[in-house]
């Protein structure tokens, strides 16, 4: 007998042959509360009664069997009649659930479910739309209700962030009617619904075995759902934070901030929010307690906030939002991060500094250098942009190509040169490094080419120091608590080391 689910994570099995299928079931079993078997990924000749019984026995958790037709986003090219006959074989194996498209039930079964009803199996009737979230979800909801399923399922592609909330409203509706539902906004914009839906009453949410094995757009790994987001502990009192940017798929921030929230015993979650259109997301900003802001929205976000901290007024950009009452405050914690990373050279006393770059990162560095009364020369590729930037702070300037002729106590790389995947790039060759301190703001890879070249010639400061410090300041602004800096740094190191190993 399958064990009863203690959580709400369903891993989808979609391998191409029975041997891989069984290996995947065994691998998924420890992470899963449910397993969905995508029968359409196998040959019809593999879909035998003996195989079904073996898979149910191997699973040890409730099994959902589905044979998704090509017209409904699957791979099965047979007729509806053939689909129903195969599902009847699965039914005899006592799977916990059959998932059948509403189209098959309406077109072939004419709304009658008797052929697919057999205790203890429960019937999921599903509606999928891989193109949009229709304007009228109510009509789809009523269409599913009409055939009286055990569980309703609505999975649609989100084109607007508001589609998450429209699908969550369906969960509330079924809760009031004492019904079960699976409600999913697919795509990058739908990640919020995948994480939040179970806490609102959805039967389950779908996860993949790994980040590269998603079976639907926007699907997170079961590992991340369970360990990074602690899905089963989310409730209606959970406060939500997130990183707004595009892309955000490789951001370290969810791992770092969620671990920090747990360490401090906070009922809070930090989500990746892949937002391209700020205007679409703007109306939902105050549903959250705070945000990290990354490329490309650090300047544009200022049109959506109520108050600006002095760091934002100085830099003209924000990387942090904090909701205080009805107001959204904007901060730039990069300034704090740079100040922390440079604490030792600044304490020692820095006079002559070379700053490489004239963009947003360089601006935050320039503020710290200006308040420390350093003599600074800014080197950039675009001479006119560099001149304007330098004159704003009263600094000297020159072309980046002239970097080898400069020397001093501190070199700061505020360009992306050396950042993954361009790890062999460097803004300065080894023979031209004549500084006591070298600070590379790039943190991925952990050791850039510039850092390697500087070893033995200078004291090296990693961009990781700035990254962790600015994240710690964000945590402090959001919560008013002392951030667990050592833990945040440890997790960032682990993730970057893992990323660097997989890239090598």
pLDDT digits (tens, 9 = 90+) for 330-369: 999 999 999 999 999 999 999 899 999 998 899 999 999 9
Domain assignment present for residue 23? The answer is yes
Neighbouring residues of 199: CB distance < 8 A, sequence distance ≥ 6: 231, 234, 235, 236, 238
pLDDT of the residue at 4: 46
For 388-396, what is the mean pLDDT? 97
Number of domains in the chain: 3
Q: Is the pLDDT of residue 231 over 90?
A: yes
Q: Is the pLDDT of residue 3 over 50?
A: no
**Residues paired with 101 in a beta bridge:** 126
Burial of residue 294 (number of CB atoms within 10 Å: 0-12, 13-18, 19+) = middle
Q: Residue 247: is the preceding peptide bond cis (ω within 30°)?
A: yes
Q: Residue 120: is the preceding peptide bond cis (ω within 30°)?
A: yes
324 lies in the same domain as 345: no
Q: Is the pLDDT of residue 214 over 70?
A: no
For 115-135, what is the mean pLDDT? 94
What range does the domain containing 303 cover?
243-332+469-503
Nearest-CA neighbor of 248 among 239, 261, 257? 257
173 lies in the same domain as 286: no
87 lies in the same domain as 126: yes
Least confident of 104-113, 300-309, 461-470: 104-113
The model's pLDDT over 256-307, given as tens digits with 9 standing for 90+, comes to: 999 999 999 999 999 999 999 999 999 999 999 999 999 899 999 999 999 9
State the alpha helices, DSSP H only, in 177-287. 191-200, 222-223, 253-263, 278-281
CB 21 within 8 A of CB 13: yes
Asked which of 183, 205, 236 is the last residue of a domain, the reply is 236
For 24-44, what is the mean pLDDT? 95
Domain assignment present for residue 132? The answer is yes
Domain assignment present for residue 485? The answer is yes
Q: What is the CATH number of the domain that holds 317?
A: 3.40.50.10860
27 lies in the same domain as 132: yes
For 53-65, what is the mean pLDDT? 96
306 lies in the same domain as 390: no
CB 413 within 8 A of CB 380: no
Active site residue 298: yes
CB 76 within 8 A of CB 68: yes
Nearest-CA neighbor of 268 among 282, 281, 254, 249? 254
The model's pLDDT over 166-203, given as tens digits with 9 standing for 90+, comes to: 999 999 999 999 999 999 999 999 999 999 999 999 99
Burial of residue 179 (number of CB atoms within 10 Å: 0-12, 13-18, 19+) = middle
Q: Is the pLDDT of residue 426 over 80?
A: yes
Question: What's the pTM?
Answer: 0.91
30 lies in the same domain as 109: yes
pLDDT of the residue at 209: 86
Domain assignment present for residue 2? The answer is no
Q: Is the pLDDT of residue 115 over 70?
A: yes
pLDDT band at 1 (very low <50, low <70, confident <90, very high): very low
CB 64 within 8 A of CB 35: yes
Q: What is the CATH number of the domain that holds 177?
A: 3.20.20.70
User: Mean pLDDT across the chain, nearest whole number?
Assistant: 94
What are the tokens at 289? 């307690």
Least confident of 4-8, 101-105, 337-341, 392-396: 4-8
pLDDT of the residue at 211: 64
Asked which of 217, 236, 255 is the last residue of a domain, the reply is 236
Domain assignment present for residue 1? The answer is no
From first CA to last CA, the distance across the chain in angstroms is 44
403 lies in the same domain as 491: no
Q: What is the CATH number of the domain that holds 435?
A: 3.40.50.720
pLDDT of the residue at 114: 87
Number of H helices, E strands in the chain: 18, 21
Dihedral, CA of residue 348, residue 350, residue 354 and residue 357, to nearest 10: 80
Residue 283's alpha-carbon distances to 94, 177, 183, 305, in angstroms, are 46, 29, 22, 11
Nearest-CA neighbor of 278 among 261, 297, 294, 265? 297
CA–CA distance, 105 with 415 (Å, rounded to integer): 58
CA–CA distance, 385 with 193 (Å, rounded to integer): 43
Domain assignment present for residue 4? The answer is no
Angle at 452 between CA 450 and CA 456, to 5 degrees: 110
252 lies in the same domain as 176: no
305 lies in the same domain as 344: no
161 lies in the same domain as 203: yes
64 lies in the same domain as 178: yes
CA–CA distance, 74 with 77 (Å, rounded to integer): 9
- % the chain with pLDDT above 70: 97
For 490, the 3-state DSSP assignment is helix
Domain assignment present for residue 172? The answer is yes
Asked which of 186, 219, 236 is the last residue of a domain, the reply is 236
Domain assignment present for residue 425? The answer is yes
pLDDT band at 474 (very low <50, low <70, confident <90, very high): very high
Q: Is the pLDDT of residue 413 over 90?
A: yes
pLDDT band at 25 (very low <50, low <70, confident <90, very high): very high
pLDDT of the residue at 420: 86
Q: List the catalytic residue out of 8, 153, 173, 298.
A: 298
Radius of gyration of the chain (CA): 27
CA–CA distance, 304 with 300 (Å, rounded to integer): 8
CA–CA distance, 343 with 222 (Å, rounded to integer): 40
473 lies in the same domain as 421: no
**Residues paired with 12 in a beta bridge:** 36
């Amino acid at each position: 007998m399958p064990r009863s689910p203690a959580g709400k994570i369903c891993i989808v099995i979609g391998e191409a042959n029975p041997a891989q299928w069984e290996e995947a079931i065994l691998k998924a079993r420890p992470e899963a509360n449910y397993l969905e078997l995508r029968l359409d990924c196998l040959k019809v000749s593999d879909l035998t009664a003996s195989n079904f019984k073996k898979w149910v026995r191997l699973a040890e958790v409730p099994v959902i069997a589905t044979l998704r037709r090509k017209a409904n986003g699957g791979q099965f090219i047979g007729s509806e009649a053939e689909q129903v006959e195969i599902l009847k074989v699965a039914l005899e194996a006592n799977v916990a659930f059959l998932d059948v498209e509403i189209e098959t039930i309406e077109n072939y079964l004419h709304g009658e479910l008797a052929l697919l009803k057999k205790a203890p199996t429960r019937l999921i009737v599903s509606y999928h739309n891989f193109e949009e979230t229709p304007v009228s979800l109510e009509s789809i909801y009523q269409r599913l209700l009409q055939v009286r399923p055990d569980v309703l399922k609505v999975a649609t592609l989100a084109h607007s962030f508001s589609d998450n909330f429209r699908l969550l409203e369906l969960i509330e509706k079924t809760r009031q009617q004492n019904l079960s539902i699976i409600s999913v906004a697919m795509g990058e914009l739908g990640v919020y619904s995948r994480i939040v839906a179970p806490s609102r009453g959805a039967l389950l949410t779908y996860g993949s075995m790994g980040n590269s094995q998603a079976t639907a757009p926007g699907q997170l790994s079961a590992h991340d759902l369970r360990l990074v987001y602690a899905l089963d502990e989310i409730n209606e009192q959970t406060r939500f934070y997130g990183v707004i940017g595009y892309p955000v798929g490789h951001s370290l921030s969810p791992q770092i901030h969620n671990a920090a929230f747990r360490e401090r015993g906070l009922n809070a979650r930090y989500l990746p929010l892949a937002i391209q259109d700020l205007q679409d997301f703007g109306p939902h900003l105050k549903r959250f307690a705070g945000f990290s802001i990354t490329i490309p929205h650090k300047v544009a976000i200022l049109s959506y906030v109520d108050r600006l901290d002095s760091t934002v007024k100085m830099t003209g950009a924000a990387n942090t939002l904090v909701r205080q009452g009805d107001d959204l405050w904007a901060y730039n914690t990069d300034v704090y991060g740079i100040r922390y990373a440079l604490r030792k050279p600044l304490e020692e006393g820095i006079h002559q500094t070379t700053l490489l770059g004239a963009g947003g990162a360089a601006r935050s560095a320039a503020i710290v250098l200006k308040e420390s009364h350093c003599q600074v020369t800014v080197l950039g590729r675009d001479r006119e942009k560099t001149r304007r930037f330098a004159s704003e702070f009263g600094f000297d300037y020159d072309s980046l190509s002239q970097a080898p002729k400069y020397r001093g106590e501190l070199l700061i790389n505020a360009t992306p040169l050396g950042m993954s995947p361009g790890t062999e790039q460097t803004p300065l060759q080894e023979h031209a490094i004549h500084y006591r301190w070298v600070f590379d703001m790039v943190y991925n890879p952990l050791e850039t080419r510039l850092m390697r070249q500087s070893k033995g010639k200078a004291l090296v400061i990693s961009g990781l120091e700035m990254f962790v410090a600015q994240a710690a300041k964000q945590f402090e602004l959001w919560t008013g608590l002392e951030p667990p800096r050592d833990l945040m740094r440890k997790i960032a190191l682990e993730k970057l080391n893992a990323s660097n190993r997989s890239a090598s």
